[in-house]
Structures are given as structure tokens and as C-alpha cells.
């Protein structure tokens, strides 16, 4: 069985995130890391590998030069090999163009039995790329999996929503996205970190996967950010003093003025 896990390199949420002059997210001048939500997909792929024989897991990332760090993290966790698609023309791509690049890269790998994704990216949260991938690859999709079961080429997932719990089944090959309800992802061990240095890691350009530069990038994105502004600095809070027993009345008045009550 072959599994491809799509992983994304995202700006660290604890870092000072900024925008470029074209109002796209700065992915070069800020610290980044493997998206936490994609770690769950890596973990589930590795659990399937541990349960079966002759299973190969490949981590696939589309992103800037630093994006290779996301692939390396997946390799350290236990993935067998990594592929990093990097090209200056990709910068500013929306979900539609991103799904195109991922699909073409997967086709070059050889459509696997299972394409796994996180439920969303922590820097965008759109949750649409897995569905777009399924459409482009002409594969069925089972998305937002909280529990995963496999038997032969059959896959069954449990999907929890605010109003219902659904059991969805499919036959591989298919595209799957997993949620953070599947369980904690493993930390790379020292042995895994050392082993990752010897694992294959390929770098591909757009031409390597047959995608024309005119099909990706900010110029063909269906949406764009017109303006950004820095968050204003935090100011000191207002202190309500309890003078002559009037503190409660003053507090209620403050809450009411802010429409909290």
C-alpha cells in the first residue's frame, strides 16, 4: 500500500506574523513549522503503516524553500520519504491553484491507495483542499475523520459534527482528511531524527510536474487581500473601584455599555 500525506509549512502562531507588500502572508521572514493539523494526518498514516506490511508513506509539501522543514519533521516522525515542490511562481496561490499543484505532484508519484490531509491549515482554515484534490484526481473522498478503520481496501470513518455522528465508508484509492480528534501526534525520537537524515527527499519544480507558471500564483487567484493593518497595541484595562458599595452597579453599567449583557 502507498500513502501520500499532504503537509503544509505554516507561520508559527507564536511568532510575529506579517504580510508582504502584495498583502500575501510572509512565509520567508518569519519562523515556520509543520502545520499542527497536518501532524494528525501524518500520525494516522504511520499508525496504518504499523498495522500492516509493505506500506510506504510519502510526505508531500508545496511551499517556499523553508517548507522543506515541514517535510523533514514528517520524516523524523517516521515517514519513509519526502517530496517538496518549490517554485517562485507558486507564491500567492489560492486553494484552487494549490490543489492543482498537489494533484499533479501526486500523479507524478503515481496515484496512491490513500491520500491523507489534515482537516485544514492553521494559517487559512478553509478545509477545501482535500475535496478539490479528490475532484482533480477523480477519487472518492471521506473527510473530517475522527476515527479510522481499514480492512483490505475498505475504509470506514466516524465523523462527528455539532448535530450528528456519521459513519462513512469507501473503497481505496481515496482521499481522506482527519481531525484533531484522532489522537495526539507523536514527537520525533532521537532515533527518528537521525534516521530521517538518510531518507530520500526530492525537490521538484513546476516544470517537473507539468504545471505552467501561468496557472498558479497571485495573478490568477480567485480572491485577494486588498488591505492589511497591524493590530493596535493593547491598552490598560479599566479598573472599577468599589467606593461606597457602588462597585457592582458600576461593573454592570460597564458591561452593559460594551453590550456584554
Structural domain contains residue 46? yes
Structural domain contains residue 31? yes
Structural domain contains residue 253? no
Give the CATH number, domain containing residue 28: 3.40.50.620
Q: What are phi and psi of 57, to 5 degrees?
A: -115, 125
Structural domain contains residue 139? yes
Task: Indicate the range of 70-74, 104-108, 156-160, 244-248 predicted with least confidence.
Answer: 244-248
Report whether pLDDT(16) > 80.
Answer: no
Structural domain contains residue 205? yes
Report whether pLDDT(169) > 90.
Answer: yes
pLDDT tens string 20-33: 888 888 887 788 99
CA atoms within 13 Å, Cβ hemisphere of 247: 8
Cell numbers of 5, please?
500525506
Average pLDDT of every residue of the chain: 92
Q: Residue 150: give the domain boundaries.
A: 2-220
- pTM for the full predicted model: 0.86
What percent of the chain is modeled with pLDDT above 90? 69
Domain total for the chain?
1
Structural domain contains residue 35? yes
Structural domain contains residue 43? yes
Structural domain contains residue 252? no
Q: What are phi and psi of 80, to 5 degrees?
A: -80, -40
pLDDT tens string 47-60: 999 988 799 999 99
Nearest partner of 59 among 6, 95, 8, 113, judged by Cα: 6
Enter the DSSP assignment of 40.
Answer: H
Nearest partner of 64 among 16, 13, 102, 26, judged by Cα: 26
Amino acid at each position: 500500500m502507498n500513502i501520500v500525506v499532504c503537509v503544509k509549512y505554516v507561520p508559527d502562531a507564536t511568532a510575529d506574523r506579517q504580510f508582504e507588500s502584495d498583502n500575501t502572508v510572509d512565509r520567508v521572514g518569519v519562523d515556520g513549522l509543520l502545520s499542527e493539523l497536518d501532524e494528525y494526518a501524518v500520525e494516522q498514516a504511520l499508525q496504518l503503516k504499523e498495522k500492516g506490511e509493505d506500506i510506504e508513506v510519502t510526505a508531500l509539501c508545496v511551499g517556499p524553500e523553508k517548507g522543506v522543514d515541514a517535510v523533514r519533521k514528517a520524516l523524523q516522525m517516521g515517514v519513509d520519504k519526502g517530496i517538496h515542490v518549490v517554485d517562485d511562481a507558486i507564491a500567492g496561490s489560492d486553494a484552487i491553484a494549490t490543489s492543482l499543484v498537489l494533484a499533479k505532484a501526486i500523479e507524478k508519484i503515481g496515484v496512491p491507495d490513500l491520500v491523507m490531509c489534515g482537516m485544514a491549515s492553521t494559517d487559512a482554515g478553509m478545509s477545501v483542499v482535500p475535496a478539490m484534490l479528490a475532484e482533480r484526481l477523480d477519487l472518492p473522498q471521506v473527510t473530517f475523520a475522527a476515527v479510522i478503520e481499514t480492512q483490505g481496501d475498505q475504509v470506514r470513518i466516524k465523523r462527528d459534527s455539532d448535530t450528528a455522528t456519521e459513519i462513512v465508508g469507501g473503497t481505496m484509492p481515496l482521499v481522506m482528511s482527519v481531525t484533531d480528534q484522532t489522537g495526539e501526534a507523536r514527537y520525533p525520537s532521537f532515533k527518528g531524527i537521525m534516521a530521517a537524515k538518510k531518507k530520500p527527499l526530492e525537490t521538484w519544480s513546476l516544470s517537473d510536474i507539468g504545471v505552467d507558471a501561468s496557472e498558479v500564483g497571485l495573478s490568477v487567484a480567485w480572491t485577494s487581500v486588498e488591505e492589511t493593518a497591524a493590530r493596535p497595541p493593547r491598552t490598560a484595562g479599566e479598573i472599577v473601584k468599589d467606593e461606597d458599595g457602588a462597585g457592582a452597579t458600576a461593573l454592570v453599567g460597564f458591561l452593559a455599555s460594551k453590550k456584554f449583557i
